[in-house]
């Protein structure tokens, strides 16, 4: 169960958590045309709190809306301020932030007409997405029987609500079959991403991730690419196949929720030594240090706030 906070920001006002309600004829509830973000705030090493790459997430929210054809009735700066306000009013020093843009009720039928565009921002405490043990020991993954979207079916550069039907199908299938997470291939058969994470592999100290052809442009992905390059690693964006993943030395998923989660097994094949690899461990440690304000070099990625 999500742990309730006191308030939710809804269409420009802070309302009580339990009062943030919608009508059953809410257009997005029926047809899935909405967009959202997932953002984390961390308690930093100096005791202050900071949101990681807040503006970048809000810009992606606006990009997602543009792709889906939704005009958000607020500015980027207004949403940024609203997120900080919501964290503060809820006294949340650390946690998860979920802005959601959706089409409200009015007309029915696929064309949303001039139904109102509504915006909500919820915040709540949220620990490790795949569990603390996953961060340490890694997870077991199964290639999904479902493909990630072809760009001309659903555009993956949008973090669109409806895209996640595909993710839910894959995730439920994987978990039902006894795995922790699903690996999704694109419609050509190349490795794409997981249900809510991008993927990296490491072979002979070269770090590889998929290009942005069929995946969400992850902010964690971009952050890790920068941190890894700054550490001197060679990082390439290149399509790869599932068998290249099977014989990688290391593999990991990354995302705001999943952070840096090592993969220890794919399709019942052990990856590397079947535990968190050395490069993965280093990047995971550095990532947590960066998001918690422990590395001055990346302080521009943090928006501090006081409770
Ligand atoms: N792919 C998908 C499908 C996702 O839902 C997410 C989580 N937003 C990611 C990748 C990772 O993106 P980010 O690092 O920006 O959270």
CB 92 within 8 A of CB 305: no
Q: Which residues are catalytic?
A: 159
Short-list 261, 268, 247, 252, CA closest to 203: 247
- Ligand 1 mutation target, pool 255, 258, 283, 291, most atoms within 8 A of CB: 255
Mean pLDDT of 38-66: 97
Q: Is the CB of 138 under 6 A from ligand 1?
A: no
- pLDDT tens for 233-257 read 999 999 999 999 999 999 999 999 9
pLDDT at 15: 98
- pLDDT tens for 96-140 read 999 999 999 999 999 999 999 999 999 999 988 998 999 999 999
CA distance 200 to 208: 6
Beta-carbon contacts of residue 134 (< 8 Å; ≥ 6 apart): 128, 180, 261, 262
pLDDT at 74: 98
- Is the confidence metric ipTM above 0.90 for this complex? yes
The half-sphere exposure of 128 on its side-chain side, counting CA atoms within 13 A, is: 16
Distance 179 CA to ligand 1 centre (A): 20
Joined together, the tokens standing for residue 228 give 């890894």
Q: Average per-residue pLDDT in the chain? A: 98
Distance 254 CA to ligand 1 centre (A): 8
Domains of the chain with bracketed CATH: 7-124 (3.30.470.10), 132-291 (3.20.10.10)
- pLDDT tens for 29-43 read 999 999 999 999 999
- pLDDT tens for 265-289 read 999 999 999 999 999 999 999 999 9
Q: How confident is the model at residue 164 (pLDDT cuts 50, 70, 90)?
A: very high
Mean pLDDT of 190-203: 98
Q: Which atom of ligand 1 is nearest to the CA of 256?
A: 16
Mean pLDDT of 213-221: 98
Q: Is the CB of 197 under 6 A from ligand 1?
A: yes
pLDDT at 266: 98
| Element at 145 (helix H, strand E) | strand 139-147
């Amino acid at each position: 169960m999500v742990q309730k906070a006191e308030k939710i920001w809804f269409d420009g006002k802070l309302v009580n958590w339990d009062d943030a309600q919608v009508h059953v004829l809410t257009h997005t509830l029926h047809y899935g045309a909405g967009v959202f973000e997932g953002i984390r705030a961390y308690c930093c090493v100096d005791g202050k709190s900071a949101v990681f790459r807040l503006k970048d997430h809000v810009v992606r929210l606006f990009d997602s809306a543009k792709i889906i054809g939704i005009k958000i009735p607020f500015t980027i700066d207004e949403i940024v301020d609203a997120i900080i306000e919501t964290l503060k009013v809820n006294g949340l020093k650390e946690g998860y932030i979920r802005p959601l843009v959706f089409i409200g009720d009015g007309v029915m039928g696929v064309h949303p007409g001039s139904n109102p565009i509504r915006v909500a921002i919820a915040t709540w405490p949220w620990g490790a997405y795949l569990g603390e043990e996953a961060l340490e020991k890694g997870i077991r993954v199964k290639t999904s029987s479902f493909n990630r979207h072809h760009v001309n079916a659903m555009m993956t550069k949008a973090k669109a609500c409806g895209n996640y039907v595909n993710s839910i199908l894959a995730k439920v299938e994987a978990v039902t079959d006894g795995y922790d997470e699903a690996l999704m291939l694109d419609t050509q058969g190349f490795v794409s991403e997981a249900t809510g994470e991008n993927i990296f592999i490491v072979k002979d100290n070269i770090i590889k991730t998929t290009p942005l052809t069929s995946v969400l442009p992850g902010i964690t992905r971009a952050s890790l690419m920068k941190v890894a390059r700054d550490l001197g690693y060679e990082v390439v964006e290149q399509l790869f196949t599932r068998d290249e993943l099977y014989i990688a030395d290391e593999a990991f998923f990354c995302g705001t929720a999943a952070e840096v989660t090592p993969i220890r097994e794919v399709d019942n094949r052990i990856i590397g030594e079947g535990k968190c690899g050395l490069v993965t461990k280093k990047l995971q440690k550095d990532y947590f240090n960066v998001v918690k304000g422990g590395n001055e070099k990346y302080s521009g990625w943090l928006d501090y706030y006081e409770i």
